């Protein structure tokens, strides 16, 4: 089955954060406060995906208040943080949402993401992902994490489902 056929079946997007939604750098100020840099195009992509009826969930091994703020800002359905066992949380998400693997797109970049990448119906690794993560993924983005990779995958999904033109139409008037 080709990538577009896999993308047509997607009903839920699950995102890793560090290295996917961000460039992977964690900046700490002199008071120990954490800063992360997010790509605005990725954020609008998540908003457009929601407009098309597809929710986004964050699945991160780390906890960060910054991620909670960003999730709220771009209307992420739910954020799971502090998930060292991403597979267990992924399986919980599937049960709760009553979806199958084939209905989920997961975007990851690191070794910890591999168990979920192996199961998702559309597994995506960002351009600068670990080689092992790339090897088990269906699609590797041209863009790096934190530099529009999420948007690239969202456009693939929405265009494959024939929803892209509708969700951007309000901007083209």
CA distance linking residue 73 with residue 157, whole number of Å? 22
- Please give the structure tokens belonging to residue 135: 């090897």
Tally of domains in the chain: 1
pLDDT, residue 12, reads: 98
Burial class from Cβ neighbours inside 10 Å (0-12, 13-18, 19+) for residue 97 reads middle
Q: What pLDDT does residue 97 have?
A: 96
**Residue 29: inside a domain, yes or no?**
yes
Is 173 within the bounds of a domain? Answer: no
Q: What is the pLDDT of residue 32?
A: 87
- The confidence score (pLDDT) of residue 5 equals 97
Domain assignment of residue 171, yes or no: no
Q: For the whole model, what pTM was predicted?
A: 0.96
Look up the domain containing 9 and give its range: 3-166
- Any domain includes 145: yes
Is residue 118 one of the residues assigned to a domain? yes
Q: Provide the 10 A C-beta neighbour count for residue 5.
A: 10
The H helix count followed by the E strand count for the chain is 8, 8
CATH number at residue 26: 3.40.50.1000
Give the pLDDT of residue 29.
Answer: 87
Three-state secondary structure call for residue 3: helix
131: in domain: yes
* 40 found inside a domain: yes
pLDDT of residue 33: 87
In a domain, 172, yes or no: no
Cβ count near 71 (within 10 Å): 22
- pLDDT tens digits, the chain, 173 residues: what are they? 699 999 999 999 999 999 999 999 988 889 988 889 999 999 999 999 999 999 999 999 999 999 999 999 999 999 999 999 999 999 999 999 999 999 999 999 999 999 999 999 999 999 999 999 999 999 999 999 999 999 999 999 999 999 999 999 988 88
pLDDT at 61: 95
């Amino acid at each position: 089955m080709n990538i577009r056929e896999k993308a047509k079946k997607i009903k839920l997007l699950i995102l890793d954060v560090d290295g996917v939604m961000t460039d992977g750098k964690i900046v700490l100020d002199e008071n120990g406060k954490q800063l992360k840099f997010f790509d605005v195009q990725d954020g609008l992509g998540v908003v457009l995906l929601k407009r098309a009826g597809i929710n986004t969930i964050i699945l991160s091994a780390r906890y960060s208040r910054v991620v909670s703020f960003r999730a709220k800002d771009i209307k992420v359905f739910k954020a799971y943080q502090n998930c060292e066992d991403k597979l267990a949380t992924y399986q919980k998400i599937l049960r709760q949402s009553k979806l199958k693997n084939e209905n989920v797109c997961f975007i990851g970049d690191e070794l910890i993401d591999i168990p979920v990448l192996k199961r998702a119906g559309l597994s995506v690794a960002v351009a600068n992902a670990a080689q092992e993560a790339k090897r088990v993924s269906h699609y590797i983005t041209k863009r790096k994490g934190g530099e529009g990779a999420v948007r690239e995958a969202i456009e693939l999904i929405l265009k494959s489902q024939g929803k892209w033109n509708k969700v951007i139409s309000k901007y083209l008037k």
